[in-house]
Structure 1
Amino acid sequence: MKDNKINKLKIFLPLLGFALVASDAQASEITLNFHSGLAQSRPEAEHIEEFARLVEEKSAGELKIDVYHAGALGLKEADILRTLQRGMVDMALLYGEYYTRDAPALSAVYAQGAITEPEQHLDILPVIKELYDDGFAQWDIHTVGGVVAPVFDVGLHCKSPVNTLEDLQGKKVRVWSRHLVETFDELGIAAQVIPQNDMYMALQTGVVDCAYYLSTVAKTISLQEVTEYEAYLHPWAAAPWIFGISERALGRLNENQRQALEEAGQEVWDITRELAVDPEREAEARAEREELGITVLEPFSAEDVETFVTAAWNNWQSLAENAGEDGLRYYETVTEALSE
């Protein structure tokens, strides 16, 4: 009888060891849910998927990211900071200008008219990233790289020839933010915020005469059907998309998983930074718009650009002051760096 017990024990112990090893392996494999409000057809979505792939590869399968595009988790963008802080989702694609209710200072980090040359954007990116890191950390969110948005041309797309600020007097202009409304107002030009999805109809029906818009992607919403003329004004001050993970989720990761997350995020950031400024891309897009029937006018003059930028900075400062102490600090940090 005693020998039978010993034999059974010899069989049981290796099985127990195997079970413990399997249990440890399962415990070290973690899947994080990642919220993105962007449609899967957007170029940024490809970079998010690449981030997920790199995380799994660099962690040797220990860490996986399940990406939910187009808000598939049912989360609202305005609530994302609170949602991450409470650990209700593990990760999210963050865009500072979305959180004016909870973190207004984040919308003051960068503004249109901030740059007049695309290369300035690349120079200022480290400063912008550092400020976003600071702002999101206040919500118990750790940042791990992100997507540097392309620096597209911004132009005025009009139904009649317009390529001076004087030409814009008496015209109604579509813009995408309150800051831009106030900037144009300072110049004596009527502007109103109209969502992208409503812009085509607003131009078609005469609600507005011109659209201040990203010229490089104007064809994707068929602006050539409702406008005939375009004039370049300045490069887009493209706020980057940031990958954020809640501190709660981060606390569940081991050192290998954390390192994989950091390395993957930085790699995507570096890749997209290299793609951000591309004069050839802008020239090809301009030629394509001309083929679609758009008359590309001479750009706004250097004097007009300076006038616009001065108004934009004035209203950027007002936006920052209204956002509180952090907002003003962010504004002063970025504008000081841009002025160097």
Structure 2
Amino acid sequence: MKDKNLCKLAKIVTLLSLTTMMATAQADAITLNFHSGLTQSRPEAEHIDAFARLVEEKSGGELKIDVYHAGALGLREADILRTLQRGMADMALLYGEYYTRDAPALASIYAQGAITQADQHLDILPVIKEMYDDGFAKWNIHTVGGVVAPIFDVGLHCKEPVNSLEELQDKKVRVWSRHLVETFDELGIAAQVIPQNDMYMALQTGVVDCAYYLSTVAKTVSLQEVTKYESYLHPWAAAPWIFGISERALGRLDDNQRQALEEAGQEIWKTTRELAVDAERETLAREEREELGITLLEPFSDADVETFVTAAWKTWKRMAENAGDDGIRYYESVTQALSE
């Protein structure tokens, strides 16, 4: 009888110990908030969610990431570097071209017209990532991988047939950055920055005649309803989306949690890199646009592409010089890698 009681007592003690250990583990678990300005319908959002799942899995539940899509934390993209530096948010999806006010050099790392063949992007990705790591570190932000954006086709989407720089001379073109405004200005073509959400109305009302846009995903913004002609110009020089964590938040993590964060980030980076260049995806997208009623014209000529690239590199260099020593260093590092 005594042995039975001792056995029961041992089981109770063991159960209590396990319960205590589980409670302690739960108490020690850390949850980090993660800001993303992208809507949950964007393909990048799936990879961010996958990153969060991997972190929890690899840390054994000790580290969790709460992702707030579409800016649900109420943070402004232009302020994200300051927000992370001050520890007002733990993590964020970082995109260098957003921070022209606080870190203009980051916007000069990569620019449209940088590549003329999609595979060039994969060759220089390590250099681009190194430059971003350096730039964000100046804001006490540690990078842990990220999402390599797909290399989509970029084309001119117009109301009338246009597939040459000469035919663009009397057109007004929508673009998405100051660099592109200056590039088209070099070519004697009027261009203006119009946010994606306003692009449809600008085309519909005649504010612009053409949109310089990512052809592969043009249907997602219904460009086929307001433009009927498209001509390919070059591949998208897609700056990667970087996962950044503030040094303050990083300092709260133990070795196991840090390792889980790093491994998850690198796994997403590797997965998305392998998906970035996909000729079949681009072909299927072109076929789909034709089915939607778009007339695909002959691409811009090699001579026109060369002229555009020359203008783009000229304004890219000027943008880098205006950003100071870091901007020049980033520009020279990337353009040297592209020239090799």
Query: Can you list the C-alpha shifts for 1:110-132, whole angstroms capped at 9, x where unaligned?
Result: 00000000000111111000000
Query: Can you list the C-alpha shifts for 1:312-337, whole angstroms capped at 9, x where unaligned?
Result: 00000010011111011100000000
Give the structure-2-normalised TM-score.
0.94
Structure 2 counterpart of 1:247: 247
Structure 2 counterpart of 1:41: 41
- Hey, what's the Cα distance between the residues in 2 that align with 1:190 and 1:337? 31
Answering whether residue 325 of structure 2 is matched by residue 325 of structure 1, we say yes
3-state secondary structure, aligned to 1:123: helix
Structure 1 counterpart of 2:272: 272
The Cα RMSD (Å) is 1.7
Answering whether residue 97 of structure 2 is matched by residue 120 of structure 1, we say no
1:195 positional shift: 1.0
- Hey, what's the Cα distance between the residues in 2 that align with 1:169 and 1:16? 79
3-state secondary structure, aligned to 2:227: coil
Give the structure-1-normalised TM-score.
0.94
Structure 2 counterpart of 1:164: 164
Q: Could you tell which deviates more after superposition, 217-226 or 130-139?
A: 217-226
- Hey, what's the Cα distance between the residues in 1 that align with 2:296 and 2:81? 42
- Hey, what's the Cα distance between the residues in 2 that align with 1:26 and 1:193? 49
1:90 positional shift: 0.7
- Hey, what's the Cα distance between the residues in 2 that align with 1:50 and 1:14? 36
Answering whether residue 263 of structure 2 is matched by residue 263 of structure 1, we say yes
Query: Can you list the C-alpha shifts for 1:174-200, whole angstroms capped at 9, x where unaligned?
Result: 111110011011011111111111111
- Spell out the pairing of 1:96-245 with structure 2 (5 A cutoff): 96-245=96-245
- Hey, what's the Cα distance between the residues in 2 that align with 1:236 and 1:83? 29
- Hey, what's the Cα distance between the residues in 1 that align with 2:15 and 2:302? 78
- Hey, what's the Cα distance between the residues in 1 that align with 2:274 and 2:21? 43
Structure 2 counterpart of 1:7: none
Aligned AA (1:169)? Q
1:222 positional shift: 1.1
- Hey, what's the Cα distance between the residues in 2 that align with 1:21 and 1:224? 59
Q: Which runs of 5+ in 2 are unaligned?
A: 1-12
1:23 positional shift: 6.2
- How many residues are paired up? 329
Aligned AA (2:100)? T
Q: Which runs of 5+ in 1 are unaligned?
A: 1-12
- Hey, what's the Cα distance between the residues in 1 that align with 2:250 and 2:139? 14
3-state secondary structure, aligned to 1:46: helix
- Hey, what's the Cα distance between the residues in 1 that align with 2:251 and 2:259? 13
1:28 positional shift: 2.9
1:26 positional shift: 3.6
- Hey, what's the Cα distance between the residues in 1 that align with 2:131 and 2:86? 22
Structure 1 counterpart of 2:283: 283
- Hey, what's the Cα distance between the residues in 2 that align with 1:190 and 1:34? 39
- Hey, what's the Cα distance between the residues in 2 that align with 1:190 and 1:19? 69
- Hey, what's the Cα distance between the residues in 2 that align with 1:142 and 1:150? 24
Answering whether residue 280 of structure 2 is matched by residue 304 of structure 1, we say no
Structure 1 counterpart of 2:295: 295
Aligned AA (1:318)? R
1:256 positional shift: 0.7
Misfit runs of 4+, over 3 Å: 13-24
1:255 positional shift: 0.7
- Hey, what's the Cα distance between the residues in 2 that align with 1:264 and 1:14? 34
1:24 positional shift: 4.1
Q: How many percent of aligned residue pairs carry the same amino acid?
A: 83
Structure 2 counterpart of 1:9: none
Shift in CA distance, 306/23, structure 1 to aligned 2, threshold 3 Å: same
